Amino acid sequence: MRSVTMGADTTGTGLPWVEAIADSFPRHSFGRFHTVHLPALGAEHRDLFVDDLDGVPPLAFRLPDGRAYTWIAGPKGVEAVEGDAGAATVIELDEPTFSEYVNELLTATGCVRTERAEVVRGTLRDWKRWEPATRALLTGRPIYTNAVRETLVDRDGKPLDLRRSFPADGNREEMRHFLDTTGFLHVKGVYAEAEVARFAAEVEHVRSRTTPGDRFSWWSLNGDGEEVVTRINYLGRHSEVLQELCFEPRMTELARLADPGFRVCDDRLDGPMVFVKSSDLVKGDGNLGWHTDDGIGGHPALCPLIQAGIQLDHANPANGQLMVLAGSHRHANHWLKWGEEGDLPVVRIETEPGDLTLHFGDIMHSTPPPTGPGAGRRALYYKFSQEKTFEWVPSGCHYNDALFHADKAGRIAARAATQ
């Protein structure tokens, strides 16, 4: 994702993001973590990650003063030894950043792309190879594998039909179970044809007011060398209709199947937004690979989070569609490329105008390139999150913006990728 400046703190809150969020979590001493906490966590959770790390080369973390520990995977778990001479991958970072990484406030990608960490030996991909096991070790979350299929069952213990959609008046307990279990939900016919036409007209009005380079939109390049908009944030800047839709009762009721306490993020986390799919893109972020919405960090501050998608056009392979890895929101996930899914439960969601989709922000999801010419699928998205997110993220801001403000040590980085 290219550097942008969306969602900056333009409201003048002056909230010291990194300190305010990080200070809500334990500050880990680099030495004590490796000599006391890591061995204890490794012994407790070894069965969750030991097979995943079989044959994976050692990884080391090094502070600027030279202190370092190497993580070595073995049949008994992970052993930390002083120094980094034997590590295939070495990460240099300061102690606060290491603590933020341990607390899931930063991922490996977030550490590097915000320039808070440097891979001085090996590659970022080598570090990310360790990440699912690291999360399993630290949190007790199992690593996502095809074994998830055993958990994708209905309330009677029978396998779920992952292609299933529900009518707008469907049984709410069945819908809640499906959403909690799979991480997504497809609801048919929530909005009438006239409503969809009105929403689509408002989207086109906003698109007419959007220009390349503004800090509220993403642009891509197609094969003819033309710039096309692929995402527009804070739609309420130009449309009262799309802003008021934040509080539309049908969407709100369905989003709260995930959590009755959810609030709509009407004025933060990029607010109401629209994705626009185009064919023949050669550069940019119009086609997103497998990712989670907390891919740069912030899992405990943002999640659980629901993305509610109002479908304005048909979604299918030709016109572009959402894909998810069912059940991955409950696991630590490997960062996959298209074609690396193997026998994991990939679900390609085909929708019609007026349908509503829901998915958790931390489910692995993707929007691959349309297979047909002239694609133009539009989907409105509204985020719903818990009260804690509103306490940490002020109006006009996104959690990711926290990573680009200077903290107490003066650390600061340019705007980086958010997916």
Please give the pLDDT value at position 23.
Answer: 83
Residue 337: DSSP 8-state:
P
Please give the pLDDT value at position 24.
Answer: 85
Are residue 103 and residue 159 in the same domain, yes or no?
A: no
Span 200-240, pLDDT tens digits: 999 999 999 999 888 889 999 999 999 999 999 999 999 99
Which of 90, 110, 139 corresponds to the end of one domain?
A: 139
Are residue 117 and residue 214 in the same domain, yes or no?
A: no
Bond from prior residue into 26 cis (ω within 30 degrees of 0): no
In this predicted structure, the answer to whether residue 360 has a pLDDT above a threshold of 70 is yes
Per the document, the length of the chain is 419
Range of the domain at 54: 17-139
| Residues contacting 248, CB < 8 A, separation 6+ | none
Please give the pLDDT value at position 407.
Answer: 47
- Does residue 410 lie in a domain region? no
Which of 139, 173, 195 corresponds to the end of one domain?
A: 139
Cβ-in-10-Å burial (0-12, 13-18, 19+) of 25 comes to middle
Please give the pLDDT value at position 335.
Answer: 94
Are residue 127 and residue 154 in the same domain, yes or no?
A: no
Are residue 112 and residue 220 in the same domain, yes or no?
A: no
pLDDT band for position 19 (cuts 50, 70, 90): low
- Residue 92, beta-bridge partner list: 62, 118
In this predicted structure, the answer to whether residue 198 has a pLDDT above a threshold of 90 is yes
pLDDT band for position 320 (cuts 50, 70, 90): very high
- Does residue 326 lie in a domain region? yes
pLDDT band for position 18 (cuts 50, 70, 90): low
